[in-house]
């Protein structure tokens, strides 16, 4: 809150200051009554007896009298603003609900209003003074709320920066783990490529059909690994997670099994039906998920 701008913001003129000061002497006689009425009203609306020790209320009554006097001095200077800010900070420290402060300012406004009615008989003058007093009550209430707003802002910023910290840590950790995964996948792919070529060479040298089957199995594994590596790289580049790839991996594993069973001429056993059923079910799931991902893609981009 820019305190230098607060008086012009509420359109306080020299006339307003004069109006408030003009009733100081007549209002001072009600000082004690004000504090009593303030506490009577406060007691009716709120119960602070357990939250605040009694001696603090006695101090508060004295402070309230000082505030009352200062109010009718209408000095719009730093000393007075600082006095209000200190009071606001004290209220925040004592965990006094902001609602109670607002309620009491509403009471103060009405109380001043009534007393001014008793003090000034001239309708025109009374209206002028009332407008000036209302403006000054508004300023007092605004400054008294300032510490509450700073406190809320402080809480919000600290929660916000904590959230930022957690998010950035998780992101870095995720990147680190994904990098490890890429590294492992690269190693596995290299190993699978080596196995595949070694088996091909072996097939060529021995001409055995069994080694050809194993080589075909290794080729499929290589294919799966390349597909996983591709997905992982896309993920690192900011792409989205694709479940279809994992279903695809399972599908390829069963196709590999079927291939091996066929080449071994074991097509009559129960195993082959199980593999066929699995391929059918996985194929259906793969088709459904791939379709969903295709529909979902443009929706996510919008
Ligand atoms: C119109 C509303 C109010 C005004 C104008 C006001 C004014 C003040 C002022 C001027 C101070 C002294 C700050 C300082 O030491 O520099 C103060 C402190 C304090 N206020 Fe208020 N107050 C208001 C509402 C309340 C309410 C609703 C409570 C609730 C119980 C409250 C309780 C206190 C207490 C306990 C202190 C600390 C007293 C101490 O120093 O021990 N105030 N207030």
DSSP 147-185: HHHHHHHHHHHHHHHHHHHHHHHHHHHHHHHHHHHHHHH
pLDDT at 268: 66
Measured from the CB, is residue 63 less than 6 Å from ligand 1? yes
- pLDDT digits over 228-262, tens only? 888 888 777 777 777 888 888 888 888 888 877 77
Give the separation between CA 248 and CA 13, rounded to whole angstroms. 78
pLDDT at 301: 47
Predicted TM-score (pTM) above 0.75: no
Q: Return the best residue to mutate from 34, 64, 84, 142 for the ligand 1 pocket (most ligand atoms within 8 A of CB).
A: 64
Confidence of residue 175 (pLDDT cuts 50, 70, 90): confident
Measured from the CB, is residue 60 less than 6 Å from ligand 1? yes
Q: Helix, strand, coil: what percent of the chain each, to 5?
A: 85, 0, 15
Q: Return the best residue to mutate from 87, 89, 138, 142 for the ligand 1 pocket (most ligand atoms within 8 A of CB).
A: 87
């Amino acid at each position: 809150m820019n305190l230098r701008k607060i008086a012009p913001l509420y359109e306080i003129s020299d006339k307003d200051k004069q109006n408030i000061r003009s009733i100081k002497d007549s209002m001072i006689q009600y000082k004690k009554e004000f504090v009593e009425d303030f506490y009577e009203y406060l007691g009716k609306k709120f119960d602070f007896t357990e939250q605040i020790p009694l001696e603090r209320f006695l101090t508060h009554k004295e402070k309230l009298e000082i505030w009352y006097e200062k109010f009718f001095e209408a000095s719009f200077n730093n000393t007075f603003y600082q006095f209000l800010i200190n009071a606001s900070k004290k209220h925040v420290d004592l965990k006094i609900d902001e609602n109670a402060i607002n309620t009491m300012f509403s009471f103060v406004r009405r109380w001043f209003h009534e007393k001014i009615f008793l003090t000034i008989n001239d309708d025109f003058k009374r209206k002028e003074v009332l407008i000036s007093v209302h403006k000054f009550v508004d300023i007092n209430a605004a400054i008294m709320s300032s510490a509450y707003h700073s406190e809320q802002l402080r809480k919000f910023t600290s929660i916000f920066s904590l959230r930022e910290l957690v998010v950035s840590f998780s992101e870095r950790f995720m990147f680190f783990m994904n990098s490890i995964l890429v590294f492992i996948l690269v190693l596995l792919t290299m190993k699978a490529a080596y196995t595949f070529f070694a088996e091909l060479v072996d097939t060529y040298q021995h001409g055995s059909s069994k080694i050809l089957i194993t080589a075909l199995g290794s080729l499929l594994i290589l294919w799966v690994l390349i597909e996983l590596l591709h997905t992982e790289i896309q993920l690192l580049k900011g792409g989205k997670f694709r479940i279809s790839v994992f279903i695809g991996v399972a599908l390829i594993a069963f196709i590999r099994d079927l291939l091996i069973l066929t080449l071994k001429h074991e097509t009559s056993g129960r195993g082959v039906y199980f593999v066929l059923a699995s391929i059918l079910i996985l194929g259906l799931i793969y088709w459904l998920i791939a379709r969903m991902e295709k529909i979902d893609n443009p929706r996510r981009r919008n």
